[in-house]
Structure 1
Amino acid sequence: MTTRPIPIDDREQISRAQILRAAGIVFLKEGFERTSVDMIAAVAHMSKQSLYAFYPNKLALFEAAVRREVGGSRHRDAVAECDQDIAATLRRYAERLFADFTDPTNFGLFRANIAAANHVPALAADLHAWRLAGSRPLGDYLERQVAAGRIVPCDALAMAIRFGGLVVGGSRLFFGYPAPAPDDRDALANTAIRLFLHGYAGAATAAERPDDIEPAPDLAPDLANIFAPPALEGTAALRLSPAKLAALVEAATAEFIDQGYRGANVERIAAAVHASKATIYRQFGNKEKLLRYAIQQDIHVAGQAALPTDAGPDLDAAITGLARAAMDEHLHPRNIRMHRLLIQEADLLPDLARRFHAGREARLGLALTAVLRHHARPAPSASDIAAFHVLATYAVRFFTDDTPVDPAVRDRYAAECARLFLHGLATGG
């Protein structure tokens, strides 16, 4: 019995599928920067030359592989409603959302989206739209609750996106934090639902607040540790003036932000400040230590400026003003690109990724605490602070979308943040 040969077109289709399966596995696990064509070829059991016969470079292979993974992933189905119990419905939705979010493929797709924002803007835009569409089922449910008079009129899809951000803790898991244990996950969902429906101001005094809310944290020690200046380990600094050292660190930061850790070139950094490559290595030891110093310096500098705490005559205006200031800082292009860098390198530098995220959150928490106390409100709990940070920065929304956000839209986002945080959406909340 003879075996019928496979037509050439079919063989090419099989080879292409084999390559894309392998590329999807590697890209989603390792991220764009850490992946090499050699790694993909090994998983595909093919030569590197065979891969290049179908895809001219890593970027083309990356885009094709990610689009294939998106095509194979599905969004959440319609929300399973629990009669008229909105809280129970949201809790069920939150459980499914968190499971989907931490699924390795979905988690990998987000990291891929981060890389795409830097390298393939068109792909990033498509992935961004795909992720936002996943909130449509909850948006449809919220629209029905508005029509029934159970929640206040609102942009239902925008509120669905914000609820999703609260449930997963915003960008926290992308910065080297482990996934929360079941009890912690339940507490996160409870905070999200409480704020989403009734807001922080749903209880007027500390005595009226739910028993499961932890006491307000003392942020001062955390801030002192988080924002400590970086320490120099080498001896070459003795021959560098403070201005020269500052210029070198700034050049290194720009190089890492633009090229990523693996693509960064120490010779380019040295040339930018008219220093030698040897001087950099004597000072910092290696490229990773230079990256660590640059990130620590960025964290230190961020901690030196206070956010405004007097932006309004009443509590709503003050919280809106604080949210707007936080968003303006967050949307600075350098800040967004630093977030992207640390998300991509969280496996390499998990301690600094966590410190970076914790610093942004704690600094905003200090300002939030001052505003609430000024207006004779209870100090926020750690969960309240984390939730406000998610709302004020709009969670992960702007990490992958480079579209400029004009002042009127920023005002609207800040007002949404204040409304949700202080009052929630439930009618009478």
Structure 2
Amino acid sequence: MPTTKTPTTKTLREGSSRKRAAILAAARELFLADGFDRSSVDAIAARAEVSKRTVYDYFGDKQTLLQAVVDDVGQSLIATIGRILDDTLTDPAESADLEDVLVTFSTRIATDMLGSAEHATLRRLVRAQTGHPPDQSENPMADTPDEALAERFAAFAAAGRLDVPDPRLAADQFIALTFGVALNRYGSANAAEDPRVQPLIVEGVRTFLRAYQAT
């Protein structure tokens, strides 16, 4: 059973960004390969080519280091979501077909983010951290992706393309109707690998637009 020890609260060194990155990378590799409990700070330090004292100075203890690794992977996924938003939901005036735009966005999220090795890594790390598969309350990305999508929906509403009195609610409902359905039904949303996913996304987008497309 994974440890549930509370992470350290002591003051930690900021230190060298190169060393910090090396420790995070080493910890991530060992936590995934050997498991959290079997990964020693000595082994992490050796792989990162730093001293054991440096690991403790930068992260305090192994539990805090695991949280830092989870946060690091979560931030990488948030950056991926940002790139997908910038590639697909940009200028509302240039988005001629909302259905096509939203299907493209959803498919990219399902494949490039939810179907990525990074996302699989995040789930494994959170399981190591909590002892069970992650649920929404333990999502290290919290509400960041939902809020980012809500901002784009607000922009489309301001341009007269959508009618969304509550952009955040619209974002939550959009996610639930599209790749959220695939995750709940199949446990995966990778449209590139599972042909069942794309029809769910298309129908979800159409349902969303029936409720929110401006007339």
| TM-score, structure 2 as length reference | 0.61
- Aligned pairs for 1:199-210 (under 5 A) are none
Which amino acid counterpart does residue 62 of structure 1 have in structure 2? L
Structure 1 counterpart of 2:23: 19
Structure 1 counterpart of 2:196: 184
Q: Deviations over 1:262-302 (max 9, x none)?
A: xxxxxxxxxxxxxxxxxxxxxxxxxxxxxxxxxxxxxxxxx
Structure 1 counterpart of 2:173: 162
Structure 1 counterpart of 2:9: none
Q: Deviations over 1:138-169 (max 9, x none)?
A: 32332233334443333212322332343323
CA contact (8 A) 1:152 1:427 kept: yes
Unaligned ranges ≥5, structure 1: 1-8, 199-423
Structure 1 counterpart of 2:3: none
Q: Deviations over 1:206-263 (max 9, x none)?
A: xxxxxxxxxxxxxxxxxxxxxxxxxxxxxxxxxxxxxxxxxxxxxxxxxxxxxxxxxx
**SS of structure 2 residue aligned to 1:17:** helix
CA contact (8 A) 1:24 1:69 kept: no
Could you tell me how far 1:126 is from its partner in structure 2?
8.6
Is 2:107 the partner of 1:103? Answer: no
**SS of structure 1 residue aligned to 2:156:** helix
CA contact (8 A) 2:179 2:189 kept: no
Aligned-pair Cα RMSD in Å: 4.2
Structure 2 counterpart of 1:45: 47
**SS of structure 1 residue aligned to 2:140:** helix
Is 2:213 the partner of 1:426? Answer: yes
Using the alignment, how far apart are the partners of 1:40 and 1:88 within structure 2?
52
From 197, 200, 206, the counterpart of 1:194: 206
Using the alignment, how far apart are the partners of 1:147 and 1:66 within structure 2?
36
**SS of structure 1 residue aligned to 2:99:** helix
Could you tell me how far 1:93 is from its partner in structure 2?
0.9
Is 2:138 the partner of 1:138? Answer: no
Unaligned ranges ≥5, structure 2: 1-12
Could you tell me how far 1:85 is from its partner in structure 2?
1.8
Structure 1 counterpart of 2:10: none
Using the alignment, how far apart are the partners of 2:206 and 2:106 within structure 1?
13
Is 2:68 the partner of 1:57? Answer: no
Q: Which moved more, 1:185-194 or 1:101-110?
A: 101-110
Q: Deviations over 1:21-57 (max 9, x none)?
A: 1112344x469x655324992795369x827644553
Which amino acid counterpart does residue 68 of structure 1 have in structure 2? D
Is 2:102 the partner of 1:90? Answer: yes
Using the alignment, how far apart are the partners of 1:72 and 1:114 within structure 2?
18
CA contact (8 A) 1:151 1:426 kept: yes
**SS of structure 1 residue aligned to 2:149:** helix
Could you tell me how far 1:128 is from its partner in structure 2?
3.8
Structure 1 counterpart of 2:163: 152
Structure 1 residues 163 and 58: alpha-carbon distance in aligned structure 2, compared to 1, 3 A threshold: same
Using the alignment, how far apart are the partners of 1:56 and 1:103 within structure 2?
30
Could you tell me how far 1:83 is from its partner in structure 2?
2.6
CA contact (8 A) 1:87 1:193 kept: yes
Could you tell me how far 1:174 is from its partner in structure 2?
10
CA contact (8 A) 1:197 1:425 kept: yes
Structure 1 residues 159 and 116: alpha-carbon distance in aligned structure 2, compared to 1, 3 A threshold: farther
- Aligned pairs for 1:192-231 (under 5 A) are 192-198=204-210
Give aligned pairs, total: 185
Using the alignment, how far apart are the partners of 2:164 and 2:173 within structure 1?
15
Structure 1 counterpart of 2:6: none
Could you tell me how far 1:94 is from its partner in structure 2?
1.0
| TM-score, structure 1 as length reference | 0.35
**SS of structure 1 residue aligned to 2:180:** coil
Which amino acid counterpart does residue 164 of structure 1 have in structure 2? I
